[in-house]
Amino acid sequence: MKTIEYYFSPQSPWSYLGHERLLAIAARHGAQVDPRPIALSKVIFPNSGGVPLPQRAPQRQAYRLVELKRWSDYLGLPLNLHPKYFPVADDEPATLMIAAAINQAGKGQALGLMLAIYKAVWVEEKNIADADTLIAIADECGLDGRALYDAQDDARALVDKNTKIAMERQVFGAPWYVYDGESFWGQDRLVFLDRALAHAMT
């Protein structure tokens, strides 16, 4: 089966904006989505020249807001441009929670949890660095939130493995998709991923 490697950050608005479209594209082409949580802010950014949002030049920060609103309006997806809990002080708990879901529940349910966590930040004004909040989100997705949260130490190995592979793939942002050895950075490149998958069928 065709597989799309999906590298992401739980607090990324761009990952949120592309998530459901990615799943739809994969379903249309009979492809499998392989979610790969990574240590984006702690490892990928420092090793690839990435700059945390608060440290970016004012004009870059301003244009980012323009683009977020533009894409939110275009896609018809709700998005709070100034969420209460962003930037998240530490996105590690959410990353590890998703990794634990992959280990325990499987990739399909983990993808559903990812969408719920994205929405928690960008729509529902929830703090995904808070343990009780994450546990409640997972429970609402039909998962055992407490068990997933308590499995963070075991999940860390998966995040470390994915981060190492991401570095080898020269990943430097999120969302990042890899199909058949070709990389696509950002939800605005999903059209090219769609074309690559379509081409594979001809």
Can you give the pLDDT of all 202 residues of the chain as single tens digits? 899 999 999 999 999 999 999 999 999 999 999 999 999 888 888 778 777 787 889 999 999 999 999 999 999 999 999 999 998 865 689 999 999 999 999 999 999 999 999 999 999 999 999 999 999 999 999 999 999 999 999 999 999 999 999 999 999 999 999 999 999 999 999 999 999 999 876 5
Q: Alpha helix (H) ranges present in 39-189?
A: 45-48, 58-75, 92-104, 107-122, 131-140, 145-150, 152-168
Q: Please report the pLDDT score of residue 94 as a whole number.
A: 95
Q: Please report the pLDDT score of residue 140 as a whole number.
A: 98
Contact indicator for 54, 4 with CB cutoff of 8 Å: no
Q: Please report the pLDDT score of residue 89 as a whole number.
A: 64
Element (H, E) at 34: strand 32-37
Residue 30 burial class via C-beta count within 10 angstroms: exposed 0-12, middle 13-18, buried 19 and up: exposed
Contact indicator for 35, 111 with CB cutoff of 8 Å: yes
Domain ranges in the chain are 3-200
Give the β-pairing of 32-37 and 182-185. unpaired
The Cα 138–Cα 98 span in angstroms is: 9
Contact indicator for 187, 171 with CB cutoff of 8 Å: no
Which phi and psi angles does 7 have, rounded to 5°? -95, 135
* pTM of the predicted model as reported, rounded to 2 decimal places: 0.94
The Cα 13–Cα 188 span in angstroms is: 12
**Chosen CATH of 3-200 out of 3.40.30.10, 3.90.228.20, 3.30.465.10, 3.40.50.300:** 3.40.30.10
The Cα 56–Cα 62 span in angstroms is: 10
Q: At a CB cut-off of 8 Å and minimum separation 6, what does 64 contact? A: 53, 56
